[in-house]
Amino acid sequence: MCGILGYLGRDNAVDVLVNGLKRLEYRGYDSAGIAVLQQGRIEVRRSVGALRNLEESLKRESLFGTTGIGHTRWATHGKPSEQNAHPHCSGNVVIVHNGIIENYLTLKQRLENEGYVFESETDTEAIAHLFAFHMQERRSFLQAFRAGIRELRGSYAIAGMCEAEPDMLLVTRSGCPLVLGQNENAVFLSSDVTPLLAHTRTVTFLEDGDLGTLTPRGVTVTDGEGRPISRETSHVDWNAEAVEKGGAPHFMLKEIHEQPEILLDTLRGRYSYDAGDADLLDVTIPLETFRQVRRMWIVACGTSWHAGMVGKYLLESLIRRPVQVDIGSEFRYREPLVQEGDLVITVSQSGETADTLAAAREAKRLGARVLSIVNVVGSTLARESDGVLYTRCGPEISVASTKAFTSQVMAFYLFALHVGRTCHVLNPEDGRWWLDQLAAVPGYVEHVIKHEAELVSLAKRFYRKRNFIYLGRGINFPIALEGALKLKEISYIHAEGYAAGEMKHGPIALIDEDVPVVVLAPRNQLYDKTLSNLMEVKARNAPVIALVSEGDHSRDVSADCVFAIPDCHALLSPIPLAVALQLFAYHVAVLRNIDVDRPRNLAKSVTVE
Ligand code: M6R
């Protein structure tokens, strides 16, 4: 789960690496390090904690070299410490690694018997010694690298360099992302495209088993045996400003505020108003096949799982077909009853989440087709799926997912509309009506953002509380889960999301005057029932924050605080409600002085089980 980076060019690698690592910090930030070739010698600098600590250390004692590699870490083997931070050296070899080496103990034992001394608790150090070991046998760095990776089991993206061959960086991947880039002056490698945007838009995504060689002459890709492989280059449209905070205090706030524009982007060019249909040309599965789909499944993790739950409610209510939703880590190990003819929809912002990827592979093994709703273009999940519906929300840097969630939900609206039209459950007129509704969603989000000050006031009133409960019904039950997840992950307040009707079956025992209850009560067919649940918690003295539809006055009597979203169709309320809860969680976290973009113990992309 770490970020790796490499540079070989004419400028000082230190600046390129440090600036690039800032873009990758979302992948892990418990320690960071770089290695450069300074006058032919490997020089390593590592620091515990945020990248600024490494910057400080480089200010105290500067380095210069035009070739280098860098790393930002999220610990798996060994606690965050300077010793465990990457890069790791052995002999005249230095490497950085993202992933987990499953057979590192066996390798370690063997290498220790050969006389290698391990200085860290990491699995990565075994790779460095392994390469050095193979170099001892008078092999070139490339030969040693190839021989070494043949012995590795697990997941990895590895970049390495060697004093003996200073004009070369070597990289490989298996199960972890890696992208190469180049311009007229330099070549680059990275865990994702964001650090490269300041230098180039032309990139090459490596596949598992690829070995990349970066030299002043450019980039070549071969397989593990040295046979050349041609990998297509892609053009990346994201602009460099997209990965900056744009003046906002945190990426999370910037990303929340981007949502009206992003939701438009998700929709843009993807419908035909005349046909009253979504036009998902970029999905490569022939969409007519949806008529024959035996059973639909949705599989995802975390916030993406919540989007999947919204998708289930949506698909079932629009097209009246059963949909099963699963958490990635559960699906992969419970021998799911997936069969040929089934469609498994996997949802992921990063497209690299290990459990979601494993679920997609399992679904394919069982004969299902896999359609993925993904944000990161060229990610492993996108490449391995039969079809991809990109959410187009741009890079999401904040660990707490916001814009990815709402764009995933928007993608489900488009998908459900298209399946409904394809299966003739919706006629063109229904379709046009839906498209009108979808076109209004960005405006609903704008409305919520305009009323952010009300959410700040709510945050000020409640940020010292230690427990929260979120209640929702129907399509807004997953929004209660998502609201609670947002609050807990960035404010460290304990929060539970519940189906409102389930309250009385146990959780109501938790309620007292110190436990605020957030009730999602927009106008819909379950409104009265939700209001009854609100009254039940109120009767037990809980402070109630109600999120209702604009113009609803009946709630004034019962809730302590009210926030109104625009009065929209019931199936569309999840998006404005989610945005209101994102803003509430954000302001609570800020008031609690938490580093919102870097919540403790979390990483943006969970590429390990
Ligand atoms: O990249 P993915 O969408 O597959 O990530 C899934 C979860 O790890 C992610 O949504 C996580 O729950 C976020 N921290 C939520 O804000």
H helices of 223-301, in order, are: 251-257, 259-267
Question: Across 356-365, 370-379, 596-605, which has the greatest mean pLDDT?
Answer: 356-365
Question: Residue 400: CB within 6 Å of ligand 1?
Answer: yes
Question: Residue 302: CB within 6 Å of ligand 1?
Answer: yes
Confidence of residue 240 (pLDDT cuts 50, 70, 90): low
The residue annotated as part of the active site, out of 22, 312, 538, 604, is 604
108 has catalytic annotation:
no
Question: Residue 374: CB within 6 Å of ligand 1?
Answer: no
Query: What is the Cα–Cα distance from 267 to 570, expressed in whole angstroms?
Result: 20
The pLDDT of residue 142 is above 60: yes
Domain ranges of the chain: 3-244, 253-443, 451-591
- Which comes out higher in pLDDT, residue 239 or 494? 494
Confidence of residue 559 (pLDDT cuts 50, 70, 90): confident
The pLDDT of residue 564 is above 70: yes
**Closest approach atom of ligand 1 to CA 606:** 8
Question: Residue 304: CB within 6 Å of ligand 1?
Answer: yes
Question: Residue 605: CB within 6 Å of ligand 1?
Answer: yes
Query: What is the Cα–Cα distance from 249 to 231, expressed in whole angstroms?
Result: 39
Confidence of residue 269 (pLDDT cuts 50, 70, 90): confident
Q: Do 467 and 493 meet the contact criterion of CB atoms below 8 Å apart?
A: yes
**Closest approach atom of ligand 1 to CA 301:** 6
Q: What's the predicted TM-score (pTM) here?
A: 0.79
Substitution site in 176, 255, 332, 353 for ligand 1 pocket (most atoms within 8 Å of beta carbon): 353
- Which comes out higher in pLDDT, residue 607 or 196? 196
The pLDDT of residue 553 is above 70: no
Q: Report the separation in Å between the CA atom of 602 and the middle of ligand 1, taken as the mean of its atom positions.
A: 10
Q: Do 106 and 127 meet the contact criterion of CB atoms below 8 Å apart?
A: no
The residue-averaged pLDDT of 74-86 equals 86
- Taking alpha carbons only, the member of 175, 413, 179, 171 closest to residue 280 is 413
CA 468-472-473 angle, 5° bins? 155
Substitution site in 304, 331, 412, 605 for ligand 1 pocket (most atoms within 8 Å of beta carbon): 304
Kindly state the tokens that stand for 43.
């020089």
The pLDDT of residue 53 is above 80: yes
The pLDDT of residue 555 is above 60: no
- Taking alpha carbons only, the member of 39, 92, 42, 93 closest to residue 68 is 42
Report pLDDT for 259. 95
Query: What is the Cα–Cα distance from 109 to 92, expressed in whole angstroms?
Result: 21
pLDDT tens digit sequence for 377-396: 778 898 899 989 988 887 88
Strand partners, 98: 157
Among residues of the chain, what percentage have pLDDT more than 70? 96
Confidence of residue 345 (pLDDT cuts 50, 70, 90): very high
The residue-averaged pLDDT of 260-289 equals 79
Report pLDDT for 155. 84
What is the CATH number assigned to the segment(s) 451-591?
Answer: 3.40.50.10490
Q: Residue 182: what residue type? A: Q
Question: Residue 256: CB within 6 Å of ligand 1?
Answer: no
Report pLDDT for 312. 97
Percentages helix, strand, coil for the chain (3-state, rounded to 5) are: 40, 25, 35
Q: Report the separation in Å between the CA atom of 349 and the middle of ligand 1, taken as the mean of its atom positions.
A: 7
Query: What is the Cα–Cα distance from 229 to 236, expressed in whole angstroms?
Result: 22
Per DSSP, 533 falls in state H
Question: Residue 452: CB within 6 Å of ligand 1?
Answer: no
Confidence of residue 434 (pLDDT cuts 50, 70, 90): very high
Confidence of residue 356 (pLDDT cuts 50, 70, 90): very high
Q: Report the separation in Å between the CA atom of 103 and the middle of ligand 1, taken as the mean of its atom positions.
A: 28
Question: Residue 549: CB within 6 Å of ligand 1?
Answer: no
* Residue 127 parent element (H or E): helix 124-136
Are domains 3-244 and 253-443 of this chain identical in fold? no
Report pLDDT for 603. 77
In the block, which residue shows the tokens 């945020």?
A: 50
**Closest approach atom of ligand 1 to CA 303:** 10
Q: Report the separation in Å between the CA atom of 353 and the middle of ligand 1, taken as the mean of its atom positions.
A: 8
The residue-averaged pLDDT of 276-295 equals 74
Q: Does domain 253-443 have CATH number 3.20.20.140?
A: no
**Residue 77, Cβ density class (10 Å: 0-12 exposed, 13-18 middle, ≥19 buried):** middle
Question: Residue 301: CB within 6 Å of ligand 1?
Answer: yes
Q: Report the separation in Å between the CA atom of 379 and the middle of ligand 1, taken as the mean of its atom positions.
A: 15
Distances (CA, A) of 276 to 125, 381, 440, 442, 577: 58, 30, 16, 19, 26
Question: Residue 395: CB within 6 Å of ligand 1?
Answer: no
Query: What is the Cα–Cα distance from 402 to 585, expressed in whole angstroms?
Result: 11
The residue annotated as part of the active site, out of 2, 89, 301, 393, is 2
2 has catalytic annotation:
yes
**Residue 376, Cβ density class (10 Å: 0-12 exposed, 13-18 middle, ≥19 buried):** buried
Report pLDDT for 79. 80
**Closest approach atom of ligand 1 to CA 602:** 14
Query: What is the Cα–Cα distance from 41 to 43, expressed in whole angstroms?
Result: 6
Q: Report the separation in Å between the CA atom of 605 and the middle of ligand 1, taken as the mean of its atom positions.
A: 7
pLDDT tens digit sequence for 16-39: 999 999 988 877 778 999 999 999
Kindly state the tokens that stand for 443.
């405006």
The pLDDT of residue 461 is above 80: yes
The residue-averaged pLDDT of 94-113 equals 93
Confidence of residue 554 (pLDDT cuts 50, 70, 90): low
Confidence of residue 239 (pLDDT cuts 50, 70, 90): low
Q: In whole numbers, what is the pLDDT of the chain averaged over residues?
A: 91
Q: Report the separation in Å between the CA atom of 50 and the middle of ligand 1, taken as the mean of its atom positions.
A: 21
Q: Considering only CA atoms, which residue is closest to atom 10 of ligand 1?
A: 303
Report pLDDT for 243. 64
**CATH class label, 3-244:** alpha beta
Among residues of the chain, what percentage have pLDDT more than 90? 71
Substitution site in 606, 607, 608 for ligand 1 pocket (most atoms within 8 Å of beta carbon): 606
Q: Considering only CA atoms, which residue is closest to atom 11 of ligand 1?
A: 302
Report pLDDT for 428. 96
Question: Residue 90: CB within 6 Å of ligand 1?
Answer: no
What are the φ and ψ backbone dihedral angles of 383, each rounded to 5 degrees? Answer: -70, -30
H helices of 137-236, in order, are: 141-150
